[in-house]
Amino acid sequence: MAMAEQVVTQERAKLIVVTRFDGERVAQEAKPEPKKRTPKKLPKVLSREEVARIFKAIKTKNPTGLRNYTAYILMYRCGLRVSEAINLSVKDVNFETAQVYVQQGKGHKDRYVPLDDETIEWCKKWLAIRPDSAGTKFLSTLKGTKLMYRYFNQSLWRLGQKAGVYIQNEQELGNMHNHIFRHCYATELLEEGYNLIEVQQLLGHASLNMVMIYAHLRPGELGKKIKSRKSTIPQKD
């Protein structure tokens, strides 16, 4: 094999051999195959009115309903993942400091999340009727066993159907999932003027890039601001 063809063989990832119309074989740079890009989808969020309809559909006069309401409000008002909510111990919810201590969240990271007054009141209502058999877990079955992730997902599906609230998945309307409350929490914080670093800290994200996606979820709010901008261009008659 000629030296030139050896080089071509060794560098096949970069070069290819082609035969020209006059019969001469030459090497030229190969065109790289286009990379397959993974579709980038924005997180789904609900409007504030839709969230209100979901919570209104929960019957809090029975222990199960009150417990579920408390779990969902921790996800919505504190941005907890469902796994973080069901792993809370009673001592992790501190009314004196108005904080939730999330231990070993995603990425095995601990963080503190502030509690607002409304969430504190619902947590207190649940603790007032929480059965003694529930052990150390803040949220558990009434028999004291650990709640499962899929239980809250299934419960939320039923609530969404009851309230007539769905999420749009491409061209179809689909059922909700627990993580949607966390998406709503982050989106509403940005709408209310919290900066990216504050939202990053509250969510426990490692990167600001993971927080910035929430700035794109309510284009209507951005449209209102654009519409109200004052123009500096002189008006013509």
**Residue 61 annotated as catalytic:** no
Among candidate residues 44, 111, 179, 218, the one labeled active-site is 179
Rounded CA gap, 145 and 179, in Å?
A: 23
CB-CB contact of 197 with 208 (8 Å):
yes
**Residue 216 annotated as catalytic:** no
Q: Residue 211 contacts by C-beta under 8 Å, 6 or more apart in sequence?
A: 186, 196, 199, 200, 203, 205
Handedness of CA 169, 173, 176, 177 (dihedral sign): negative
Q: Residue 165 contacts by C-beta under 8 Å, 6 or more apart in sequence?
A: 46, 50, 53, 54, 159, 176
CA angle 77/82/84 to nearest 5° reads 85
Rounded CA gap, 78 and 111, in Å?
A: 12
Among candidate residues 25, 56, 106, 124, the one labeled active-site is 106
Among candidate residues 81, 130, 137, 183, the one labeled active-site is 81
Among candidate residues 72, 76, 185, 214, the one labeled active-site is 214
CB-CB contact of 137 with 92 (8 Å):
no
**Residue 76 annotated as catalytic:** no
**Residue 179 annotated as catalytic:** yes
**Residue 106 annotated as catalytic:** yes
CB-CB contact of 55 with 69 (8 Å):
yes
Among candidate residues 44, 53, 205, 218, the one labeled active-site is 205
CB-CB contact of 137 with 130 (8 Å):
no
**Residue 214 annotated as catalytic:** yes
Looking at this protein, which amino acid is placed at residue 106? Answer: K
Active-site residue set? 81, 106, 179, 182, 205, 214
